[in-house]
Chain A
Amino acid sequence: MKYQLRHTTRYDYSSDVTLSHNEARLLPRDLPWQRVSDTSLVITPQPVRVRERLDFFGNRVSYFSIQELHSSLEVTLNSQITTLPRQLPPATLDLAWQNCVAQITTDTLAPVSLAEARLMMLDSDFVRSHTDLADYARQSFREDCSLVDAIQAFNRQIFEEFTYDPEHTTIATPVLDVLNSRRGVCQDFAHLAIGCLRSLGLPARYVSGYMETLPPPGQTKLQGADATHAWLAVAIPGWGWLEIDPTNGTLPDERYITLAWGRDFADVTPLKGVMNGGGKDQLSVAVDVTPLTDEHLLELF
């Protein structure tokens, strides 16, 4: 699929900001199943210095600083993304999940990097292992169950047992609270699933990105109505990282655009900064994931 992606983040401040240093993780990654082109990051007001680098996880980070007096900051990403179908583990891959847990600490996992897998098993800022999380996951991770089957069952388990409720959570809802209330948003479900998998001894990483949404039948799609999305990936020894989306109970496909990944949300915060002044701030975010049909493409030329 081909998409035009537009993601605008705007802050309005109650008092002037004199100086700010910021880090944006808004440039989508290039991946075997995702090609990124015609990318631009427009920052208003004009920053004095912009530096792009790859972070530890391979995400594209843009550092910028703004020195002119400003009362609002707007960062807009425009990019064309072509997504391809993701590979799925072959049916022949029949690994009992407990064997995988044992394997991860001893063997090579190629093509999965052992160092990365072990990093993704450790506690992180937002996700800490807990026996309650492991217990919850065991509903799907039954004795001798195959790893891939168990992951898929677990993905559906969260989808079926949890209610999507944007009113309920804050940025840092503890994973155990999410487990107890059975409510949350995509970020909470991703953190929860990661916590459960790590508590079982399986490496899991947080993925941020976007998903194409369809308007209700018969209606046209509203501008800026799309949203950022979050899901996760689990390491399958000897095969790679399998992505799952517990918010929708599906496996991400061509409609998913990957932005960045890390241990949890803290590693992939789309925009963060430290500023002098500013007072209270008001945030608005608008995301458009527009499918480009052949006709659209023609119009562009």
Chain B
Amino acid sequence: MYDFSQLNSEMQRRLEAYVASRQALDPKTLGFDELLQRTGRIRAHWQLVLDELSIYDREGLRSRCEEAQNLLHENGVTFNTYEDDPGKLRSWQLDSLPYVISTEEWDQLEQGLMQRSRLLEAIAEDLYGPRTLINSGLLPAELIHSFPSYLLPAVTDQPARRPMLIFHGTDLIRNAEGQWQVLCDWTQSPSGTGYALENRITLARALPGLYREAPLKRLAGFLQAQHRALASLCNSQREQPNIVLLSPGPGSPGYFEHAWLANYMNFSLVEGADLVVRDGQVSMRTLGGLRQVDVIVRQINDPWCDPLELRGDSLLGVPGLMQAARDGEVEIANALGTGILEHPALAAYLETICQRLLGESLLLDHRETLWAGDAEHLPRILAAPELWIFRDITEPAKHLRSERLSAAEQSALLNQLQKTPWRYVAQARLQAATSPVYNTRSDSFEARNINLRLFSLIEPDHLFVAPAERQYRIMPGGLAWVGEPGTLLMESHTVKDIWVMAPVPQPHISLLRQANGPIVVTRDGTDLPCRVADSLFWMGRYGERLDIRSRLLRETLGRFLQEDQSAEESGMLPDLFTALEIQSPDPLETDDPIAETDVPFKYKQLYLNYRNRLLELFEEHHADGMPWLFNHFLRNCRAVRDHLGDDAWRTVNSLRQRFNDMPRTQGIIVGQRQLEGVVTDLAAFFGLCNETMPHHYGWRFLDIGRFIERVLCTLELLKLALLSARQPGIPLWEVVLATTDNFTVYRRRYRSQLHPSAILDLLLFDETNPRSVGYMLKRLERQIQRLPQLSSSPYRNQESRLVIQATSALHLVDIDRLSDIEHSADSRAVLAQLLDQLIAPLSELTNAISHSHFSHVEAPIQLVTMQS
């Protein structure tokens, strides 16, 4: 009955595989199909996509898909960045086959979504205003009051000045009957628009032919409108309102998107500790002092936004934020309290509410929902509990499915349903339509279930019109992901672009946001948040430490291979272990009786112990190991994601991949190769930072961090090699030169055997050598002088004084007395004193800079009165 004859043989084969994969599914669940009509014909709106993809043969399409995958991966598009464990990081598979919606169908869907946004806005305004829905009993008081996101402090008798719901995300599926069914709403900070755009950009690059010509609706206009809506929220009528994106920080699962959006929309990415309420206004702590914030796009859930009026244990929020919003000093999108609209039980009453508030019937169907707290609903639930999926509204993210509960858990649930029915919502199980997904391995299409997230936005010009006239607009596209109905986006493995077909080809709009006002150029860089400066500094320090440690470890592994395995002396290994700050194995570690008699065996044993200690450094949980260091570096990189260029970020991802593989490192030679890669990736990373970051304060802090670390490590290394080593001498000096990458320079310049004085000249005094202490001190001094000065004091600040102190020690030392380190105790004493005079002030430098510029705020403390 299927007729694919107009398509070429490649495509016919893919489609036949699709038909077969559908037939393999449970016939009871089989219903509507997105691609094929019941008659077996291909639905008209898919024709174009299939035609365009037909031009690719097996290898062609597969390589295009891999290209898309690589682009996504290099950009670090991942949803779950919660874990710092790189092994658990997962990128999406991006399906090159879009999810296609026809023009006619979209028109209907759009109407339904627009109504839904208007309805939810009307509900929010009622629940936080006159509360007629509760007072009339239409919505049970228990249903609303027991939900954590219903904020009593947000209830007001003042009429709303503007809509609470600025943007809104709706998850839906198409069921086996072919009907759209809404699953849930995202009304606080709907995530996914950034991903939707990133997917579109990626696929348009991987499949340019398909995307350039297709009559599909473009996405860029929607984000431009979103920017316009947010800018118009600001009531101070400033030309360039200061809009910030308030994120819970790099630990939150949506952080990638927060950074992406902040960059794309040109918002400052801030965390709660970056903001402060002073003089009633919300300000951002920056290097140049406080800077007023006009609009906050919050990515923090309602109860956590203000520890004064909401949850007191919140460390994410900003004390006094609610009052500032109440006074109109700052606008928050979406308004605080909109989380109540995510209540899963609202669906049970939506039809009636729609009639009451809008006087309309509900256009868009939603999944059947019952609330156990309703005396009419409870008997229906108890009659057949196995038919429902339960949600506990005090833990809204949890889904309780009877088939996944033990018998004891099931009876506990039934018991709870009777005792505290208001806590439970019952949602119908759904059968979804099937839709094609491209399988790269078999080069064929497979039938899978798809979830969709679509987005709506208040019309920017409708912000201040009467509620009845307000309209929302729908993003003509969105995010689709593979999984059974209700699968969380984060748990899905494959995402898809959504195509909304337009009747005629659409003009191409650059996805780069176009400014529609005069650009205000800020060149001074003092608006950098203090926290960002802090993270850049530590990114520099950890990055540099990782680099030096990698070089040192690489050299150590090299020397290790040259050791005589059965020699009594372990050579220079103990000294290198000291440099690496790890314990050498105890030579008497074995009490094996054979070892007592068989001396070569004993040393072989010791040799193995050395080897194990070295390989341990590649392990994930080693407290001083390479992956551990990298995680610190990575955490700081993430915190400044929006300040790093895309190419720099690609090198971070390449490093991440490297460290992902590192714990499995088995041998010394593999380890060496890993470290080579780390060294070059880091060089690329810092090189790109130098090339692409504006040389403003942010870059200066990064540079200062790097050079403090480098100078301290160099000094420690010199101290070890020239003064405290057990076995000083040429081999160790070679390691010093190799670690500082100065071997070649040395040979070219001195053309002689290694000599301590020459090493000192090269690594301490030569100010033209970027690896010398002299050069580094000069660089630190220059960078520190150019940092913003907050106080108008005519005196030098602490950090300048410390650098001058170190520099003078270096300049004033009597070089002649240093000439015979190898034989003269006096020389060694002078060197020891010099090194200490350098190390002491430089060790204090970090604290001084941190004190002057990062203004670490103590975590706010709660004050509560006791009652007698």
- Identify the A interface with B (CB < 8 A): 9, 11, 19-23, 48-49, 51, 53, 55-56, 63, 65, 67, 105, 113-115, 118-119, 121-123, 166, 170-171, 185-187, 208, 227-228, 230, 265, 269-278, 281, 283, 285
Contact = CB atoms under 8 A, between A and B. Distances in A.
Contact of B277 (A55, A65, A186): A65
A113 B863 contact: no
Contacts of A166: 868
Given A118-B142, A122-B142, A185-B868, 13 more contacts: A20-B863, A21-B320, A51-B326, A65-B277, A67-B278, A67-B279, A171-B864, A185-B867, A186-B867, A269-B865, A274-B862, A276-B860, A285-B865
Nearest to A49: B280
A281 B858 contact: no
B89 interface: no
Interface stretch (B40-48, B71-79, B307-315): B307-315
Contacts of A63: 323
Nearest to A23: B308
Q: Is the interface of B mostly helix, strand, loop or mixed?
A: loop
A250 B782 CA distance: 77
Nearest to A185: B868
A55 B866 CA distance: 21
A123 B860 CA distance: 28
B694 interface: no
A228 to B, nearest CB: 6
B141 interface: yes
A271 B155 CA distance: 21
- Tell me which of A48, A53, A274 has the highest count of chain B C-beta atoms within 10 A of its own C-beta: A274
B868 A227 contact: yes
- Tell me which of B145, B307, B327, B422 has the highest count of chain A C-beta atoms within 10 A of its own C-beta: B145
Contacts of B141: 114-115, 118-119
Interface in B120-159: 131, 134-135, 137, 140-142, 145-146, 152-153, 155
Interface of B: 131, 134-135, 137, 140-142, 145-146, 152-153, 155, 276-280, 307-309, 312, 319-320, 323, 326-327, 375, 422, 857-858, 860-868
6 contacts: A119-B141, A269-B865, A273-B862, A274-B860, A278-B861, A283-B866
A222 B860 CA distance: 37
B142 A272 contact: no
A272 B137 contact: no
A274 B861 contact: yes
A20 B323 CA distance: 13
Contacts of A21: 277, 308, 319-320, 323
B867 A228 contact: yes
B867 A51 contact: no
- Tell me which of B153, B307, B861, B863 has the highest count of chain A C-beta atoms within 10 A of its own C-beta: B863
A9 B145 CA distance: 32
B395 to A, nearest CB: 15
A277 B864 CA distance: 15
B866 A171 contact: yes
A285 B375 CA distance: 48
A272 B863 contact: yes
Contacts of B327: 51
Nearest to B279: A48
Given A185-B867, A274-B312, A122 B862 contact: no
A20 B131 CA distance: 33
A129 B758 CA distance: 81
- Tell me which of B142, B146, B323, B866 has the highest count of chain A C-beta atoms within 10 A of its own C-beta: B866
Contacts of B864: 171, 269, 272
Nearest to B868: A227
A119 B145 contact: yes
Contacts of B326: 51, 53
A243 to B, nearest CB: 18
Contacts of A56: 152-153, 155
A19 B865 CA distance: 18
Given A67-B279, A114-B135, A115-B131, A9 B155 contact: no
- Nearest first, the 6 closest Cβ-Cβ pairs linking A and B are A118-B141, A21-B320, A274-B319, A273-B863, A56-B152, A227-B868
A18 to B, nearest CB: 9
B860 A230 contact: no
Contacts, number: 112
A68 to B, nearest CB: 11
A274 B146 contact: no
A122 B142 CA distance: 7
A99 B857 CA distance: 57
A121 B868 CA distance: 26
A19 B276 contact: yes
A23 B309 contact: yes
Contact of A283 (B140, B155, B307, B865): B865
- Tell me which of B137, B145, B152, B867 has the highest count of chain A C-beta atoms within 10 A of its own C-beta: B867
A123 to B, nearest CB: 8
A272 B135 contact: no
B279 A49 contact: yes
B593 to A, nearest CB: 61
A277 B858 contact: yes
Contact of A9 (B140, B142, B375, B865): B865
Nearest to A48: B279
Given A56-B152, A227-B868, A19 B863 contact: no
Contacts of A273: 308, 862-863
A123 B145 CA distance: 10
Contacts of B320: 21, 65, 274
A247 B135 CA distance: 34
B795 to A, nearest CB: 23
A273 B864 CA distance: 7
B279 A275 contact: no
Nearest to B139: A115
Contacts of B142: 118, 121-122
A123 B142 CA distance: 10
B140 A118 contact: yes
- Tell me which of A67, A270, A275 has the highest count of chain B C-beta atoms within 10 A of its own C-beta: A275
A269 B867 CA distance: 9
Contacts of B140: 118
A113 B134 CA distance: 11
B421 to A, nearest CB: 12
Contacts of A119: 141, 145
A19 B277 CA distance: 9
A224 B803 CA distance: 59
Given A51-B327, A115-B131, A272 B280 contact: no
Contacts of B858: 276-277
B863 A274 contact: yes
A20 B860 CA distance: 9
Contacts of A121: 142
Contact of B146 (A49, A122, A269, A278): A122
A279 B135 CA distance: 45
Contact of B308 (A228, A272, A277): A272
Contacts of B863: 11, 20, 22, 271-275, 278, 281
Contacts of B146: 122-123
Contacts of B137: 114
A270 B865 contact: yes
- Tell me which of A21, A118, A269 has the highest count of chain B C-beta atoms within 10 A of its own C-beta: A21
Contacts of A53: 326
B153 A55 contact: yes
Nearest to A64: B323
A115 B866 contact: no
A171 B868 CA distance: 9
A118 B131 CA distance: 14
A53 B868 CA distance: 26
A89 B612 CA distance: 84
A103 to B, nearest CB: 14
A270 B308 CA distance: 13
Nearest to B145: A119
A54 to B, nearest CB: 8
Nearest to A227: B868
Contacts of B276: 19
